[in-house]
A and B are shown apart, each in its own frame.
Chain A
């Protein structure tokens, strides 16, 4: 009996010893990056394989290695289903030793994955999802929200529209976590700027026909119709708004609260012209962005969205932090990431708040008219740079509990 106890104690001591020895090293002798996003559904063009390509570009820049160990990139399709997403994340972490999960568009899935990565202390780099609650009520010590969020969109587009005279609003909202949060954040911003909310209608995700909702928005008499949706849903609603002559009368304006470059490309400038939108990235702003985007274009045939460019930036920063920390241990790297400024083609002097929010400049843009566009992918005119501190909420405002401890 005593002997057994002794053996047990010795084994326990040994395992503690190995655990300590492993610190300062790379688990499994490989840094595994898992890109988890929608690869086949309505959000596949704004992230999808493009995000994987962008992540691989960051890995290439590091020479394919960090701390002398190889970096591996894997990808999977969460089909916009939170249960599939969280199961994949769990399987990746438990069985495949994935060290970091990247992208995860669709706020519903991201919220589910955030629960898994918080429990497993795994780094989670979010570029695709929008809801600001990911760094608010649902924040995690190892979760990082990178490219944009609903708060920044509301501040950017919401405030700009009210200032232009769009005082009364009606929302067409995607009926899940993201849409609700975007509607709430924008409503708050509109009211703060002196506007009013006339109403909202909740449309199921992936609706084929928006005409009914558009008609309700029209009869509300609101000056601005806010589209709190994304991807394919935004494309359909803008296209059908133009078909039903909603904006031609000049009495109502459309505000696409979340519009990606891929959406504008699919709509064509004829339909999308003059839309005002907020973005975290546009390829044609400076030489560094143009050079990177050109490389991306060579690999994919498309210009990058802010989600894809953000995925590059986040993974690059993560790998730099692994190098600086000398380990790929989740909490250690997370702490390191928060102390380092983000400087790359995506962000200048970006900083990461205690709640995981990466603060960088956002841009208010207007979609060009067909006559103004010089060629393919020449779509945006940047109207204003929104300083990061204005675009994103502070830690205190975010309501994140772990950060205030």
Chain B
């Protein structure tokens, strides 16, 4: 049998596909972070906690109210978005005049509080969330068994990422948003309510995290730790892609997922640090990130 670097090509395809699935989560989460940083200049450390919140909302909807996966896919992100709007209105909006560092510290504190609360209430082992009936089972692709649900995750995240990119880069509303980041005073003078736009942007960014949380619930345990396990990698993704670059965040998310998948085949011990090694290299060569602009 022919091999590539000692690995049968079939196994390699399987691993690349798995990498793409993990990349979908990186892309969705880093997209939200990039949108928030691009528009608000806030480094949102609460992103992982809000992702966890999305998964928990879905779980609570199912166990407490009896609402299933498909409605949760809509309701949980809305709920997380509402939490985001509340946070922005009550706390974050007071910090825009100050250094980035204050926003970072505030959101980090919020993340610790949300996670601590859920750890206290539900323990760390996590709660099981079943795969929706329509998506159980899987396809035999010849080189691997692909669970239907994982295929759905890749498709859903691709659509959401593309739609977000289009909305911000190609529509009127997106143009207002981008203009408001460059010069809020001028845009406000044109009669556009900039503070409200900023609030809604933050709400939208964290709703994306909530959506990723619901998508993740059936794959991972719904656990208070699920966000903090992921968030550091996602930050590395955003740094590599270039802070604030939306296309960069999405492409880097998928790309690093693939690369991590490959590492798991060739040198699994390094699979949890490969992203950071790349981050270090990129920062040395191109400090603004692969797709970022020097400011």
Indicate whether A243 sits within 8 Å of B265 (C-beta atoms), given known contacts A209-B22, A266-B128.
Answer: no
Quick one: which of B10, B123, B219 contacts A243, CB cutoff 8 A? B219
Let me know if B269 and A266 touch, CB within 8 A. no
Let me know if A44 and B220 touch, CB within 8 A. no
Residues in A neighbouring B219, C-beta threshold 8 A: 209, 240, 243
Quick one: which of B11, B128, B138, B230 contacts A208, CB cutoff 8 A? B230
Binding site for A on B (CB under 8 A): 8, 10-11, 14-15, 18-19, 21-22, 119, 123-128, 131, 138, 144-145, 147, 149-150, 219-221, 223, 225-226, 229-230, 261, 264-265, 268-269, 271-272
Let me know if A236 and B15 touch, CB within 8 A. no
**A212 contacts partner chain B, Cβ-Cβ < 8 Å:** yes
**Which interface class (under 10, 10 to 19, 20 to 34, 35 or more) fits A?**
35 or more
- A135 smallest CB distance to B (angstroms): 27
Let me know if B119 and A40 touch, CB within 8 A. yes
**A8 contacts partner chain B, Cβ-Cβ < 8 Å:** no
Question: Shortest 10 CB-CB distances between A and B: which pairs?
Answer: A266-B125, A212-B264, A204-B272, A45-B125, A44-B124, A268-B128, A45-B123, A212-B18, A211-B18, A202-B269
Let me know if B220 and A236 touch, CB within 8 A. yes
Let me know if A235 and B18 touch, CB within 8 A. no
Quick one: which of A213, A232, A244, A265 contacts B264, CB cutoff 8 A? A213
Quick one: which of B15, B126, B264 contacts A266, CB cutoff 8 A? B126
Let me know if B125 and A232 touch, CB within 8 A. yes
Bound CA–CA A266/B125 (angstroms): 6
Bound CA–CA A270/B130 (angstroms): 10
Q: List 21 A-B contacts (CB under 8 A).
A: A44-B119, A45-B123, A201-B268, A202-B269, A203-B268, A206-B229, A207-B271, A207-B272, A208-B220, A208-B226, A208-B230, A216-B265, A219-B8, A219-B11, A232-B221, A232-B223, A243-B150, A245-B147, A262-B125, A267-B128, A271-B128
Nearest B residue to A203 via CB reads B268
Residues in B neighbouring A399, C-beta threshold 8 A: none
- B116 smallest CB distance to A (angstroms): 8
Let me know if B126 and A235 touch, CB within 8 A. yes
Quick one: which of B21, B145, B221 contacts A235, CB cutoff 8 A? B221
**A41 contacts partner chain B, Cβ-Cβ < 8 Å:** yes
**A263 contacts partner chain B, Cβ-Cβ < 8 Å:** yes
Bound CA–CA A262/B223 (angstroms): 14
Let me know if A40 and B268 touch, CB within 8 A. no
Bound CA–CA A216/B15 (angstroms): 9
Residues in A neighbouring B225, C-beta threshold 8 A: 41-42, 232
Residues in B neighbouring A240, C-beta threshold 8 A: 219
Bound CA–CA A202/B272 (angstroms): 12
Indicate whether A232 sits within 8 Å of B131 (C-beta atoms), given known contacts A216-B265, A240-B219.
Answer: no
- A165 smallest CB distance to B (angstroms): 23
Nearest A residue to B261 via CB reads A212
Bound CA–CA A40/B223 (angstroms): 12
**A390 contacts partner chain B, Cβ-Cβ < 8 Å:** no
**A239 contacts partner chain B, Cβ-Cβ < 8 Å:** yes
**A378 contacts partner chain B, Cβ-Cβ < 8 Å:** no
Indicate whether A232 sits within 8 Å of B124 (C-beta atoms), given known contacts A209-B22, A215-B18, A240-B219.
Answer: yes
A176-202 interface mask toward B, CB cutoff 8 Å, 1 = contact, 0 = none? 000000000000000000000000011
- B253 smallest CB distance to A (angstroms): 14
